[in-house]
A and B are shown apart, each in its own frame.
Chain A
């Protein structure tokens, strides 16, 4: 087990290094000139030279890469070309926003996945219809689901759920930035409930795609284990079908589902970027699309690096967890 963890950690470091190298290289080959973006088209030659020095672009490229890595490790991602402020400062309020949304979306993914899978795997019932639902939901872009849910819950149901932003009240002073948690910490049910209401629609829109993918894997696993000898034994011992499903089939199907969930986290990141835009959610995603609009590559690189690192680390954790549960994984 220790050997497995050590190997996994080693490859984690290698992947993170190459991820950083790739993002850095992309910044160097990007077709816009960072100095020009920084100082503007009409700046004097001296201003350009000063900016080049300020951004550290007068150093040789290996030195630049070294300071890029050193900065990234300490959470310093340089200066935004458009706002001229440190990128880390701008991201500090946005990271909790995205993490909060991602956490809720992940929870909803599991809820959607497990409930759809239990419906689907009952033999005979809903079979063809559920297949249609699966494929429709898996083919719907997340912004379509986001827009439709806004039309239904905000427009037609007359503002039943809010359609934009994170809160009707604004943040507390000296808070964690996770609004639901902040509401609980400050003992305000109104604030907490308001934050939850704001979370529901965007989290749902981001969760549908991965929820359906999860349901398919779970349903496959469940239907094969429901036909297995030990399921028959459980039935013969007088267990009800629901108990066989919950206690035996679902548990057996959960190991492949867990590794799928880690992969889905990567897809969820991309739907979060899209969904944040629809709901004017002030997170990393809307920051990223803003940076794309103005060609601010250092900001783009910072967001990609953070999201990428989260994804790679998450995958490592899941691998280790799977190996802890299932000894066969360690040997493969």
Chain B
């Protein structure tokens, strides 16, 4: 890139040489309870142009590592070891000296782009500031470079948007601006701390692509800190797995994914629900939680969760041992893992559920527990403080049809802002929607009286996303679980017995009843939330992103629990999630929502194997798969831009503004897309075509299926065709 030329003609470190070297890094924080040993003995060498991922669960010391390298750690932290950049020691430098290096040689991309950009300066000002701090060039030149950088990271109309303030950017655009700022001075090392965790999958795919472009253009080495193994597989060359502040395994991305030698790595890989998994076996579960790094007992910190642990593991902590070329692992049993070629299924046995015979055909005949008929929810957009007037309408949900049968799980997926949560709230509120009907257990919500509603709430329960926010912090667990029982007039003795039974059902102990929610980990809290939902023996449970706030190893346990409960109690789930891999694992049918409309609905096998709507295809292709070989060979459909505002949706087909198919159409072919939203029709038959093959799209000739939209694989696109994405 020509624009970078004025700043750096030759690199201090040639490609392939070690640019950043961390040796035996220890970071300790003082605390009331004792020293918190956040990082214990981390070493790695990062070569120029290379991407290394640091993976671990929350509290494993990933972020502290990045802050220590950048010199941004709190003053109370005690750091030992060595961090060298271009062979120069960084530890021990003063803050002023570090400021010379930060932003020039070392750059950082933070997780939350809203709080990482200053809200009172324009994006351009902030990039210019980053440039002028390190280079004495004129403001107009720096400004020009800012525009070039924004163009590089894919911001449309960069010469106009450079004058925008951060709040005028969407989340994905802010993250792009952050990347632009980070690469402004052509750094040698970029540290990206969970750069896409706060973003939707389609936006995540865009941002990861930008990051790859930025790395290619600057030749910088990247340290990618993440918990998402799919992102790791797609982005990195080497991987460091951290557990309780210690690196437990390091190696090339292929070694880690295909020949892991440490049980924690193996368990983590087995616990991720996979988008491309065809069988629905229970996920590997690592029992327990990551340990607290205060007062760690001697021995391997993974012992309490490790099925391979023996007495030797409790006595001495294993050192990193070379187990292959450029592959080290810290486990006493790594040799046994290799010789017996142990997999996650061997190490972490999961109960195999007794298969319940349920044919899809049978399900259709079963009782319908929930149905939405052309349900609409519009919110007025008001303006003015004294004289409030309506200035518009937010079309949050704009006419959807859904049917849920007894014993079935229906997944509802889509980007944030597509109306999934509004749909859930409308069902739970048991009010009449703006238009259309909501029928729960055969009763239309519009005609319900107060007593009817109360009776129906017994059968309709909810599990929320954030297990901390959904449990009243002032109430002991017993009272939380007993609350629905009290509302519906259970006697004291019956309540007591029922709560204890529920605690056991969700895998908690009776002794936990006295404790407050804050004494529990995220996974346990979510179990309490599930116990509360189960208390009244409901028939339908609505789950709003129940696992998205949990760590991977904890998430698997909760998913398995939900699955088991469903089979035992013949529950119906309406499962809202943005993670399509989780949906594939748990759901029978899946509905894809876009801007308040359902664009595709069908059985999980059909929708995942033969996605016919371009949006579904883009969503599926955007999700990273934790498999490096697959990731390398995959092509992605990148959607342009962000979700349009539901207050001002595009005319005609709502997806046309971002539709990759629409772009390839002739003006004549585009006419129907511009005129009206396509109806849901049976998805066209035929073998799915490859993603790369273009060809002229054909107008869909199928019609609305006879038995209504719930029976079939239906899609709302004039030019729908099945595509092989996975």
Do A and B pair up? The answer is: no
